[in-house]
Amino acid sequence: METVYLTKDGYNKLKAELEHMRAVERPRAADAIAEARDKGDLSENAEYDAAKEAQRNLEAKIMQMEMTLANARILDEKLVDTSRVQILSRVHLKNLATQKEVTYTLVSDHEANLKEGKISVGTPIGKALIGHKKGEVVDVVAPVGVMKFEILDISI
């Protein structure tokens, strides 16, 4: 697995979610299997099969999160250079077609949350912005066509 770059906050959220799964969800899944097992013949027990499937899915998710945390590197915001757009940059943009202004923070795929204004560096806009400077116009190739954004400001 490749290195996953996270903020300290993103790392802590992922770690807390993993602990919740281990401490709460895993015992809950085991209880559901035990309850279904108590209902009789396992060969014709759809509830048992569903509980086992849910447990397999949970264990796979736990394993994936453990791998992500094991390969995580926490990014230090103090080391972010604001002369060019990079991961952790807060970028204030102007859509040149609509004249609307937006601000996004570029983060890893694991921390992306559009409601919080955090977009992944792997998205079309994230990829297009990386490496550019304040004042530059960037072409973003999106499913709706090419959009032009002017970088108004880069901060942390």
What contacts 24+ positions apart, CB below 8 Å, involve 146-152?
147/95, 147/97, 148/95, 148/96, 148/97, 149/93, 149/94, 149/95, 149/96, 149/125, 150/93, 150/94, 150/96, 151/85, 151/91, 151/92, 151/93, 152/92, 152/93, 152/94, 152/101
Predicted pLDDT of residue 42: 66
Architecture field, domain 77-155 = Roll (3.10)
The domains spanning 4-74 and 77-155 adopt the same CATH topology: no
Decide: helix, strand or coil at residue 69: helix
How many of the other CB atoms lie within 10 Å of CB of 69?
Answer: 15
Predicted pLDDT of residue 156: 86
Q: Could you list the beta-strand ranges (E) of the chain.
A: 4-6, 72-74, 90-95, 101-107, 118-120, 137-142, 145-155
The residue with tokens 């990386």 is 130
- For 80, phi then psi, to 5°, come to -75, 125
Is the pLDDT at 135 greater than 90, yes or no? yes
Is the pLDDT at 118 greater than 90, yes or no? yes
Boundaries of every domain in the chain: 4-74, 77-155
User: What's the pLDDT band for 144 if we cut at 50, 70, 90?
Assistant: confident
Q: What is the pLDDT of residues 65-76, one digit of tens each?
A: 999 999 999 988
Low-confidence winner among 55-69, 74-88, 139-153 (lowest mean pLDDT):
74-88
Decide: helix, strand or coil at residue 108: coil
Predicted pLDDT of residue 44: 72
- For 151, phi then psi, to 5°, come to -85, 110
Q: What is the pLDDT of residues 10-49, one digit of tens each?
A: 899 999 999 999 999 999 999 998 888 887 766 677 888 8
Give the CATH number of domain 4-74; options: 3.20.20.70, 1.10.3720.10, 2.40.160.40, 1.10.287.180: 1.10.287.180
How many of the other CB atoms lie within 10 Å of CB of 48?
Answer: 21
pTM over 0.75, yes/no: no
